[in-house]
Each structure stands twice: as structure tokens, then as C-alpha cells.
């Protein structure tokens, strides 16, 4: 696996059918990463490895998400379960 969580997360998002404007991970300061785009209500920001985990384990394929939007609060809640 790529050592860069942002690049790895973006590759996974593309595999899941997302285009960058709809959902992508962007680098932030001090190792943070930001998941943002048209398919999420507001940006999800956290440690790069955690954002990668969210993309890998919690973000459904684009076709499955359909017209719904992801909610950062739901993603955080799912991490705790």
C-alpha cells in the first residue's frame, strides 16, 4: 500500500466510482487530511490515517450512495462502533 494516506484514499475513492469534485481527500497542516466534495454535507477532517480508514471502511461506492449525502457525524459515530 502507498505510504501516503491522502494518495491512497483518493485512489480508493476513484475505485469506488467517485470523481474528485464529488469526493476527494486533500492534505492539511500537521498530518491532517480533509475529506470534502459534493457528496458530503461538510468536510471531514482528522489525522490522515483515520481519514484513510473512513474512506476504506465507511464510504460506500458512489453507485450505492446514489443521491444521498454523507454526514461527517454519521462517519464519526460509525468509527466508535
Q: State pLDDT tens for residues 38-76.
A: 999 999 999 999 999 999 999 999 999 999 999 999 999
User: Is the pLDDT assigned to residue 1 strictly greater than 70?
Assistant: no
Report how many domains make up the chain: 1
This prediction's pTM? 0.91
Domain of 20 in residue numbering reads as 5-80
pLDDT averaged over the chain? 94
CB burial of 45-79 (b: ≥16 within 10 Å; e: otherwise) equals ebebebbbebbeeebeebeebeeeebebeebeeee
Amino acid at each position: 500500500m502507498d505510504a501516503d494516506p491522502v494518495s491512497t484514499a483518493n485512489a480508493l475513492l476513484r475505485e469506488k466510482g467517485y470523481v474528485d469534485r464529488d469526493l476527494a481527500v486533500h492534505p492539511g497542516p500537521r498530518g491532517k487530511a480533509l475529506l470534502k466534495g459534493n457528496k458530503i454535507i461538510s468536510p471531514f477532517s482528522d489525522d490522515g490515517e483515520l481519514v484513510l480508514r473512513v474512506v476504506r471502511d465507511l464510504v460506500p461506492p458512489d453507485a450505492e450512495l446514489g443521491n444521498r449525502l454523507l454526514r461527517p457525524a454519521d462517519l464519526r459515530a460509525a468509527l466508535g462502533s
